[in-house]
Chain A
Amino acid sequence: MLNLSGEKKKKVGAWLLLSMIGMLVLLPFAPAVVMAAEEAAVEEAKEPEKAKDVFYKEEGEFGIVSGPPAGELVYPDDYGSYGDFQSRTIIWISNQQHLYFGSFVLAVPMFVWVMELIGILQYEKNPKVGKKFDDLAHEMMKISLTAYSVTAILGGILIFSFLALYPGFFRYLSGIFKPVMHIYALLFILESGVLYVYYYGWDSMNDGNGDWKWSHLSLGTILNAVGIVLMVMANTWVSFMMSPAGVDAEGRFLGDIWKVMHNPLMVPVVVHRILGNAAFGGGVVAAYASFKFLSAKTLEEKAHYDWMSYIAMFMGILALIPLPFAGYWLMREIYAYRQQMGITLMGGLLAWVFIMQATMIATLFITVNYYLFQAMGRMPGSERYYKYFKVLLAILVVATIAWLTPHTLVMTPAELKAMGGAQHPVVGNYGVMSAKNTAINTMITTTVVSFIIYQRSNFKLTVPWAWKGNIFLAMLILGAEVNILFLGVYGYFIPANVRIGLSVPQVASTLSVLFIGVAVNTKMLKGAESIGEIRWGKMSVRGAYALFMLAVAFTWTMAVMGYLRSSVRLHWHVNEILRDNSPWAFTNPLGYAGNINSLNVLLFWTMLLFVFWLSALAGAGKKKVEAEEAAAAAVGKAVPAGSH
């Protein structure tokens, strides 16, 4: 047998690993090459029939017909059912559960990557802090690993549900996406391979901030890149169903898969989902840490999980802040694609679902602020700022009320008469976008102010220009809020097509406070005198529950908005191409939708608690072995080595 020295063994190992990953990276291209050759052969054989694209105009307007028409689905031949259950509800639940876990396992490696990078960069300055971040990243990855298996199982259930309940629709969609279906499956293998090497190689590749550690981080980069590509591909199916492209009016594939994937709503849906996943992932990890915080027995454990929940929450909020703007952009693109679709969503049939969403988003922002107020309990010196909480809360409540006000109400004729119309003469004015945008921007600005206060709560400023900095910050925040209000009011006096543009400077005002405000505040804290160390683990129990609330609100918002996005297709499987001819093509009553969304949230959290429990089980086993080893060492007895 080949006898290699330690260093050589490492090199051979590294090359083997690199070639394996290299092969896995190239694997997804194999079917594309085969298919390109097939297409070329078909093209040569006969004169191609050309047809007009439903979306692309001018250049690339015509494409070669490369697939069968969508046709007409017939009930019950093209649909399946289990007894009296609504097939649509089964698909709805399977989709939602797969999406929850998928989002979670996509988001966690993003955080893990950032945490590991911070750990490596910190290692040289302070190995203890570096290790703390590294351990945190490792622990987060452990939760994700179990969730990954659950995601794959749920994906399987989803495909089987499609095959059993919607075979006609599934046949059409998989026919259109045939050129990339295998790439998706092979990328999944690549993702799994990299994930396992990344997780199980964590300890053996850990040499602080040496070459192996950087190689390990590179694996994390590949893992995230593949994860995002997988998500983008899955998103293209969904956005194709909403806004098809690359097919003709009969639904025949026109030979260019990129046009199908790059449909009009693809990019905004992808951006919105990446941000949404990151916010959701942060919320779930924060909830996990809170769960551990609440059940911790020692102060050391409490301190660790308090810190972990704060970091996870912070990362989630970083994604949450731009999320409403990404959502606004998506809506704008929906209006640009089909105005009627936008109206159905925001001013018609589904407008009340938007009110439900508004309730959840307001809950999210109030909870974040509440958490920050509670978290200041662990900061010595924060008492100085308690008096401002009432003002901030009052602003949040007023903004929430404006944010929740519906445009019109469903009423009896007598009620209509008493109010003088479906729209209230005064309150009704708060039901339009000008007021909504003003409210959400105010809420975000207030949250940034809370964060600025949180940042400085246990410090005494020592920079000589502190007074100038304070005045500058006050004017920056005041100016932004005045501008947000001014643009909101101005919106009532101008036509809709100009008004829609006002949201951009409104957002820019909020972002100015976020970026300039936090940067100046951080600069002001340079060399500041500490009033006392942060007492990690001393946060109130209410703060930990607030993080649970945050995570559940994220989950519920995702359920509501997912339902909304999907329902906007109304009686179409693929908008204007493939009609839904099942008995479940109607739009659900609001109460039913609310119940199923709640059931989805409950189901997800039950499964997630199982995942948390599993990871705690592994941790408990490890601790037991360590305790036994320590006890044995104390009496000088030899014990077998414990496995990781």
Chain B
Amino acid sequence: MSDNKEEAKVGLGQKIVFGLAMFVASGLYYIVFLNKSLMVLQNLAYPY
């Protein structure tokens, strides 16, 4: 992955910050968007 010349110019700090931002975004996507919304929708479809 370090084959890319452009990538070599990017500092480690910048990568860590972006990585953390993506980590949070991915967490929000999976927990809030997928888990919560799909469970709510299912409760509407299959009210036990």
Contacts and interface: CB of A to CB of B under 8 A. Distances in A.
Contact of B38 (A474, A480, A505): A505
Given A479-B27, A487-B35, A466 B7 contact: yes
A460 B8 CA distance: 14
Contact of B42 (A475, A501, A509, A512): A501
A483 B22 contact: no
A480 B30 contact: yes
Interface in A452-501: 460-462, 464, 466-468, 470-472, 474-476, 478-480, 482-483, 487, 497, 501
B4 A504 contact: no
Interface in B23-45: 23, 25-27, 29-31, 34-35, 38-39, 42-43
- Chief secondary structure at chain B's binding surface: helix
B44 to A, nearest CB: 11
Contact of A467 (B6, B29, B35, B38): B6
Contacts of B35: 483, 487, 505
A470 B27 CA distance: 17
Given A471-B15, A471-B18, A475-B22, A509 B3 contact: no
Contacts of A478: 23, 26
Contacts of A508: 34, 38
Interface residues of A, number: 28
Nearest to B25: A475
Contact of B26 (A470, A479, A487): A479
Contact of B48 (A474, A480, A497): A497
B22 A460 contact: no
A165 to B, nearest CB: 41
Contacts of A482: 30
A479 B29 contact: yes
A482 B30 CA distance: 9
B38 A504 contact: yes
Contacts of A466: 1, 4, 6-7
Interface string A205-229: 0000000000000000000000000
Contact of B7 (A467, A474, A497, A504): A467
A479 B6 contact: no
A286 B48 CA distance: 45
Interface in A69-128: none
B46 to A, nearest CB: 7
Nearest to A516: B29
Contacts of B31: 483
Range for the number of chain B residues in contact with chain A: 20 to 34
Contacts of B34: 483, 505, 508-509, 512
Nearest to B31: A483
Given A497-B48, A501-B39, A470 B1 contact: yes
Given A483-B31, A505-B39, A512-B34, A475 B4 contact: no
Nearest to B18: A471
A480 B34 CA distance: 10
B48 to A, nearest CB: 5
A508 B36 CA distance: 12
Contacts of A501: 38-39, 42-43, 46
A512 B18 CA distance: 20
A466 B5 CA distance: 10
A483 B1 CA distance: 26
Interface in A488-547: 497, 501-502, 504-505, 508-509, 512
A478 B25 CA distance: 12
Contacts of A467: 1, 4, 6-7, 10, 15
B30 to A, nearest CB: 4
Nearest to A511: B34
A195 B6 CA distance: 54
Contacts of A474: 19, 22
A469 to B, nearest CB: 10
Contacts of B18: 468, 471
Among B10, B26, B27, B39, the one with the most A-chain Cβ atoms within 10 Å of its Cβ is B26
A392 B23 CA distance: 22
Contact of B4 (A384, A460, A509): A460
B4 A461 contact: yes
Among A384, A475, A509, the one with the most B-chain Cβ atoms within 10 Å of its Cβ is A475
B6 A475 contact: no
The 8 A-B residue pairs whose C-beta atoms are closest, nearest first, are A479-B26, A475-B22, A483-B30, A467-B7, A475-B26, A501-B42, A505-B35, A505-B34
Interface of A: 384, 460-462, 464, 466-468, 470-472, 474-476, 478-480, 482-483, 487, 497, 501-502, 504-505, 508-509, 512
23 contacts: A461-B3, A461-B4, A466-B1, A467-B4, A467-B15, A468-B18, A470-B1, A471-B15, A471-B19, A471-B22, A472-B22, A474-B22, A475-B25, A476-B26, A479-B26, A479-B29, A479-B30, A480-B30, A483-B31, A504-B42, A505-B30, A505-B34, A505-B38
Given A462-B4, A470-B1, A475-B22, 11 more contacts: A384-B3, A460-B4, A462-B6, A466-B7, A471-B22, A474-B22, A478-B26, A479-B26, A483-B34, A483-B35, A512-B29
